[in-house]
Structure 1
Amino acid sequence: MHLINADLHCHSRHSDGTLSPADLAARAHANGVELWALTDHDEISGLDEAARTARALGLDFVTGVEVSVTFIGVTVHIVGLGFDPDHAALRQGLAATRGGRLQRAHEMADALAQVGHKGAFEGALAYVGNPDLISRTHFARWLVETGVCASTHEVFRHYLADGKPGHVPHRWAKLGDAVGWITGAGGIAVVAHPGRYRLTPNEEYALFSEFRQHGGLGVEVLTGSHGQADVLKYQELALEFDLLASRGSDFHSPEESRTDLGALPDLSGRLTPVWQKLRPARP
C-alpha cells in the first residue's frame, strides 16, 4: 500500500486560520502534501479558491468542513470530507450552525470585561476574516496582542476553556444532523481529534456508537493535538468500530500551530486510510 502524505484538516481565514485558502494550498504543496482538504469551521466559502489553487499546483484536493456539534453537553467536532458543496441541506445546516456565534461573542466580551479586559469584542473583530465565524481563537489573538498572555494556548488555559472567566458555552448542531448533512451530500464523516474531548470512557463509547449508527465512517488518528498515547488509543478504537483512519494537522497559523501541514507521521499499516474511499475533486 502506498502511504501518501495526506493532510485532511486545516483552517483558513474564512474561519479561524490566518492564511488564505490559496496560501494554505501553496504551503501544503511546498511541504510535500499529496492530498489536501480545507476544513473551515461550519463554513465552505473558501473551497472554490482552495480547489482552484490546488488544481493549478497539481495537488489533489477534496472538499472539507469541520462541523461543531454538541454531544451530552460537550462540544465535539465532526470533519466532513469529499462532499458536494452545493448540496442544499448541507449548506442550510452549516448556515444555522454559524448563526449563534455572534451572540456568543458578545457574551464572551461581556464576561472578559468583568475580569478587567474591556473592548474584547472590537479587539477580536479586528482578527476576523468572516464576522459570522468570530470565535474564541480571535479573542485569544487579541489578548496576546494586548499583552495579557504570551500565547494563544495560555489564553485558553486561563480565560477561554470550560470553567474559565471568558468561557461561554454554545449549543451547536446535533451529532445525527451533522453526520446526516455530510453523508447526504455524498461525503464521509470523521470524528475530529477525539483525544481533546473531556469524555469518560463510557461517554466516549457512546459517542462512537451513536456516530456509527448515524452513518459516520472515520476517525482522526493522527492530528496535531494527539500525543503518542492518543495515536495508539485511537488506532485500536478505529479497529474496534471498523472506522477509516484519517490524518490531518489541524493547522491554523504559522505562528500558532504546533504541527505544520504535511508534517505528521504515517498511519499504521493496520488501518484503512480514509483516502482509499475518497475521490479527489477534478475540474
Structure 2
Amino acid sequence: MMTKSYIDLHMHSMYSDDGEYTPTQLVDMCHEAGVKIMAIADHNWVKANEEAKKHADELGMTYIPAIEIDCTYKGVNLHVLGYGIDNQEVFNQLGEDIEKQEIACSMKKLELTNALGFDLKKEQLDTLSTNGVYTGEMFGEALLNDSRYEAHELLKPYRQGGERSDNPYVNFYWDYYAQGKPCYTEIHFPTLEETIQLIHQHGGVALLAHPGNNLKGQFELFDEMVALGLDGVECFSSYHTTETNEYFYNKAKELNVLYTCGSDFHGKTKPSIHLGENGCLNPQEIEDCLKAHHLI
C-alpha cells in the first residue's frame, strides 16, 4: 500500500465510462480519506466539476476544476490533464464526439473479443453500460463473471492469485483493448497541440497524465511536449514505480514545469487503487507548486 497524500488531483466519477461514483460521493470519500485538495478529471467531460466544487466548499476542502483529455502525439495515444479550466460547453462537445465514436466501435470490440475464443452477447454488456459504450473494463467484468469461462486459460491471470489480479478489469483493458493490442479499435482523438491550445484558451494548464504508463518507455517525448507548450506532468501516480516517479519529478524540476500527484481512482475497475495513494511523499511541496501556478 502506498503512503497517503492529502492531495489527489486525478480521480474519475460516474461521468467517465469506467467510473463508479457521483461527484458528491467522491468528495465525501476524499474527505473521509483525509484528502484536502482534490480534482475530478473525467475522461473528456467537465460535468462533475460544478457539483463537486460546491460540495467541497461546504466541507472546507479545496477543489480544482479538471478534465482528462484523450489525444495523440507522434502516433502515441496520451491522456492530458487540464487543471483550472472553466466549465465551457466546448469540453462536453469533445466528450460527445468521442462518445459517438466509441459507441460506433463497441460492436467491433465485441467481434474482436469473441474472436479470442468467447461467445459474449451484447445483452451482457448492456447490463454494464448506460450509454452504449462498451469499454475494455466492461468486457473484462462480463467475462470474469460469466460461469462458462471459469476455467478459461486466457482469464486465469486476472482471477484471484493471478499475476494481473490486482486490478483485473482495467488490466484486461490494458492487455487487450489498449493501443496495439488485439481488440484495439481506433478513435480519432485531437492532437496534443490542439489539446494544449484548448486547455489554455479556457484558462487552464495542461499536464501529461501518468507518463510512465502512456509513453511506453519513450520518456524523451516529454521534453518535446514541453517545448510545444505542455505545462507540466503528473509525476506521482499509482501506476508508477518509485523510479518512474523520481524520473519525472527530477525532469519537472529540470524543465521548471508544474508537477502534481494523482491516484487515478475509478472505483470497481481499479479496486487496488485508493484515494490519496499516489506515491507522493511530500504533498506540501505539491501544494506550494500549485500555489505558484495560481491553481489554489
TM-score of the two chains, using structure 1 as the length reference: 0.85
SS at match of 2:274: coil
Unaligned runs of 5+ in 2: 150-154, 160-167
One-letter amino acid matched to 1:190: L
Q: Cα distance, 1:134 vs. partner?
A: 4.4
Counterpart pick for 1:247 among 256, 261, 264: 261
Residue 219 (str. 1) matches residue 236 (str. 2): no
One-letter amino acid matched to 1:77: H
**Structure 1 residues 171, 48: closer, same or farther in 2, change over 3 A?**
same
Counterpart pick for 1:166 among 170, 177, 183: 183
Counterpart pick for 1:155 among 165, 172, 180: 172
Residue 72 (str. 1) matches residue 74 (str. 2): yes
Matches within 5 A, 1:183-262: 183-201=200-218, 204-209=219-224, 211-253=225-267, 256-262=270-276
Contact 1:144 1:155 in 2 (8 A): no
Contact 1:93 1:181 in 2 (8 A): no
- 1:165-221 Cα offsets, whole Å, 9 max, x none, are 3222333111011111111100111100000024454xx433432x32443211011
Q: Distance in 1 between matches of 2:255 and 2:133?
A: 33
Q: Quote the residue 1:135 is aligned against.
A: 135
**Structure 1 residues 121, 274: closer, same or farther in 2, change over 3 A?**
farther
Contact 2:47 2:92 in 1 (8 A): no
Q: Cα distance, 1:252 vs. partner?
A: 0.6
Residue 23 (str. 1) matches residue 40 (str. 2): no
**Structure 1 residues 153, 17: closer, same or farther in 2, change over 3 A?**
closer
**Structure 1 residues 159, 93: closer, same or farther in 2, change over 3 A?**
closer
Q: Distance in 2 between matches of 1:6 and 1:14?
A: 21
Residue 266 (str. 1) matches residue 268 (str. 2): no
One-letter amino acid matched to 2:223: F
Residue 97 (str. 1) matches residue 98 (str. 2): yes
Residue 10 (str. 1) matches residue 11 (str. 2): yes
SS at match of 1:41: coil
Q: Distance in 2 between matches of 1:178 and 1:94?
A: 13
Unaligned runs of 5+ in 1: none
Q: Cα distance, 1:53 vs. partner?
A: 2.1
Percent identity reads 23
Contact 1:38 1:47 in 2 (8 A): yes
Q: Distance in 1 between matches of 2:127 and 2:291?
A: 37
**Structure 1 residues 255, 114: closer, same or farther in 2, change over 3 A?**
closer
Q: Distance in 2 between matches of 1:143 and 1:45?
A: 30
Q: Quote the residue 1:277 is aligned against.
A: 293
SS at match of 2:239: coil
Q: Distance in 1 between matches of 2:289 and 2:56?
A: 21
- 1:131-166 Cα offsets, whole Å, 9 max, x none, are 276432222222232255322155236533444432
Matches within 5 A, 1:29-40: 29-40=31-42
Q: Distance in 1 between matches of 2:175 and 2:238?
A: 21
